[in-house]
Amino acid sequence: MRITETADLWYKNAIVYCIDPETFLDSDGDGIGDLNGLAQRVDYLAEIGVTCLWLMPFYPSPRRDNGYDIADMYGVDPRYGNHGDFVELVRIAHDRGLRVIIDLVINHTSDQHPWFRKARASKDNPYRDFYVWRSDTPPDTSEESMFPDSENGIWTHDEKTGEWYLHHFLHTQPDLNTANPQVRDAIAKTMGFWLQLGVDGFRVDAVPFAINQTTFEGHDKNELEEPHDYLRSLRAFLARRSSGNGAAIMLGEVNLPHEEQLTFFGGSDGDQLTMQFDFYTNQKTFLALARQDAAPLIEALNSRPKDIGVEPQYANFLRNHDELTLDLLPEDEQNEVLDTFGPEEEHRFAGRGLRRRLPPMFDGDPRRLKMAYSLLFALPGTPVLFYGEEIGMGENLEVDGREAVRTPMQWTDEKNGGFSSAAPSKLARQVTEGPYGPAHVNAADCRRNKDSLLHHITRLAKRYRESPELGWGDYAVLDQPNPSVLAHHVTWKDRSMVLLHNLGAEPVVVPLTLEEEEPGTQLVDLMSEESCELDQDSSTDSQLDGYGYRWLRIKRADDPRLV
């Protein structure tokens, strides 16, 4: 094998870390996190082993949707800094070996964006066709809104011109008409701009909505390109603009069943999104965790389309900045997860998900948390962390809606958790209080404590990086008799590993037979001192504690790696 392949397709064994610049670190004492603050903490992230920063929207925005309502796609909101600060940050990250991707919102803008202001001014305005309008009264679309708590449909009547405009999210986020070649050009130009400033790609927001047929309504279908051609053209543009700098990526948010995700990779051509979050596996993982039964997770892994070619890649995550959405699960399964991990009404968001971080869902059980993060790094694909996960931050249910999980990063046990020197009343978002507040959970304490989640995740990151078979390999779920256990085998070229995770609280023995391996082969546990050897039948029994995990490398004489 050539190890350089892992440098070319760098994202296939990257460790992605998502940051909201508003809540990470405030460097100028105004209560709002900023790019300068973030730059101060790149070394902290490098030390964990993060290899790619994902910056959530930092663009000028009225922030009705945490910055996903963009008023200027080329800008930096002055509250976070300016273009100079952005370039400094990218420069520092690159120097420390980290790549940087940024959110790209192609489905909608803010209603404050100059395009929409002009579009709504008159029906014959050149920007009118940047958005999607209808003149007849829309039917009941209350079921189609992504924010049913605050919107009663996906069309809003515009007084001035007497027509309705489309918005799948808030009415302050009008959907762009992505069938319009001028819109496509404008989006590509935006990508070109940020690539020129050094970014390594984009997390592409709400992709299925952006190529949704409703968005194309009112256009002569015969004249339209196939909607997926739009993604193809963006990917081709990205390749042209990033050649020579190492591959830039599009990591798409596509919350759809596996079969449909395949289309968004571009089928076997692999010419659309470079990566996609695996929402289906995420939701089935939570069902498996709730039941302490690996079966739903096994089903998800087995149903993942494998024929996606070499370049595309799945991104795995446990929690992100949104609610833990369960919408791909049937209702009874949704209810199981909601009842187990969000028993109170205040834990829930829009009836479909949980506005919680992981540690409180597990009642703070450190063994269970460590197992869950081991699983995240061990799943085939690229792991993505949300800021604060590495130290075990909890949510703040005092804060409304999804903001509950977007509280300031907890650096120390000092005022405002070390996030800002401003008066607490001036903070962009309230710091978490109680058992998950900075007095008990903060990065500084975690650094000093070898048993902390931070140390655990740092170790997982190291082992993950030196085991490219996890990001690159073929995988198979192994048969074994314990329902609470996921046992899987990954193999890439001449490298193989067996990974064991016990989702249950009781200890178990996992009998393993690796028929393809020679008797006497050593299985080296990368997470502990305990190794074992295959017997005459190429079998062994592996002990797992309650919520135990093992990363067993199959040791080969010619493997150049240190174990």
Q: CA triplet 75, 146, 120: central angle to 5 degrees?
A: 55
Q: Tell me the catalytic residues.
A: 205, 253
- Compare residues 194 and 386 and give the one whose CB is closer to ligand NOJ: 386
CB atoms within 10 A of CB 259: 11
Task: Choose among 292, 166, 178: nearest CA to 233.
Answer: 178
Closest residue (Cβ) to ligand NOJ?
Answer: 68
Please state, in angstroms and rounded to a whole number, the distance separating the CA atoms of residues 277 and 318. 11
Nearest distance from C-beta of residue 56 to ligand NOJ, angstroms:
8
Nearest distance from C-beta of residue 286 to ligand NOJ, angstroms:
17
- Compare residues 133 and 209 and give the one whose CB is closer to ligand NOJ: 209
481's CB contacts (< 8 A; 6+ apart) are 511
Q: How far is CA 490 from CA 12, 376, 440, 478, 543, in A?
A: 14, 14, 38, 10, 20
CB atoms within 10 A of CB 345: 7
Please state, in angstroms and rounded to a whole number, the distance separating the CA atoms of residues 207 and 264. 9
Site track 49-68 with ligand NOJ (rule: CB under 6 A), x = hit = ----------------xx-x
Please state, in angstroms and rounded to a whole number, the distance separating the CA atoms of residues 357 and 18. 14
Strand, coil or helix: 239: helix
Token digits of residue 443:
């990065």
Backbone φ and ψ of 417, nearest 5°:
60, 25
- Compare residues 110 and 313 and give the one whose CB is closer to ligand NOJ: 110
Please state, in angstroms and rounded to a whole number, the distance separating the CA atoms of residues 352 and 119. 34
Nearest distance from C-beta of residue 255 to ligand NOJ, angstroms:
9
Nearest distance from C-beta of residue 320 to ligand NOJ, angstroms:
7
- Compare residues 65 and 390 and give the one whose CB is closer to ligand NOJ: 65
Decide: residue 401, CB within 10 A, 0-12 exposed, 13-18 middle, 19+ buried: middle
Token digits of residue 294:
């690996």
Nearest distance from C-beta of residue 66 to ligand NOJ, angstroms:
6
Please state, in angstroms and rounded to a whole number, the distance separating the CA atoms of residues 181 and 184. 5
Size of the site for ligand NOJ (CB under 6 A): 9
Please state, in angstroms and rounded to a whole number, the distance separating the CA atoms of residues 448 and 451. 9
Task: Choose among 67, 117, 100, 295: nearest CA to 195.
Answer: 100
The answer to the question of residue 20 lying near ligand NOJ (CB under 6 A) is no
The answer to the question of residue 205 lying near ligand NOJ (CB under 6 A) is yes
- Compare residues 116 and 169 and give the one whose CB is closer to ligand NOJ: 169
Please state, in angstroms and rounded to a whole number, the distance separating the CA atoms of residues 190 and 70. 12
Task: Choose among 475, 409, 468, 473: nearest CA to 442.
Answer: 409
Task: Choose among 22, 77, 32, 24: nearest CA to 422.
Answer: 32
The answer to the question of residue 322 lying near ligand NOJ (CB under 6 A) is yes
Nearest distance from C-beta of residue 365 to ligand NOJ, angstroms:
28
Nearest distance from C-beta of residue 206 to ligand NOJ, angstroms:
4
Nearest distance from C-beta of residue 229 to ligand NOJ, angstroms:
23
249-252 and 275-277 strand pairing: parallel
The answer to the question of residue 206 lying near ligand NOJ (CB under 6 A) is yes
> In sequence order, what are the beta bridge partners of 542?
510
Query: For residues 238 and 250, is the Cβ–Cβ distance under 8 A?
Result: yes
Query: For residues 245 and 235, is the Cβ–Cβ distance under 8 A?
Result: no
Nearest distance from C-beta of residue 133 to ligand NOJ, angstroms:
20
The answer to the question of residue 151 lying near ligand NOJ (CB under 6 A) is no
- Compare residues 279 and 475 and give the one whose CB is closer to ligand NOJ: 279
- Compare residues 409 and 512 and give the one whose CB is closer to ligand NOJ: 409
The answer to the question of residue 169 lying near ligand NOJ (CB under 6 A) is yes
Task: Choose among 35, 44, 14: nearest CA to 390.
Answer: 44
Ranges within 81-120 binding ligand NOJ (CB under 6 A):
105
Per CB under 6 A, the list member of 253, 333, 517, 525 interacting with ligand NOJ is 253
- Compare residues 105 and 211 and give the one whose CB is closer to ligand NOJ: 105
- Compare residues 146 and 503 and give the one whose CB is closer to ligand NOJ: 146
The answer to the question of residue 202 lying near ligand NOJ (CB under 6 A) is no
Interface with ligand NOJ (CB under 6 A): 65-66, 68, 105, 169, 205-206, 253, 322
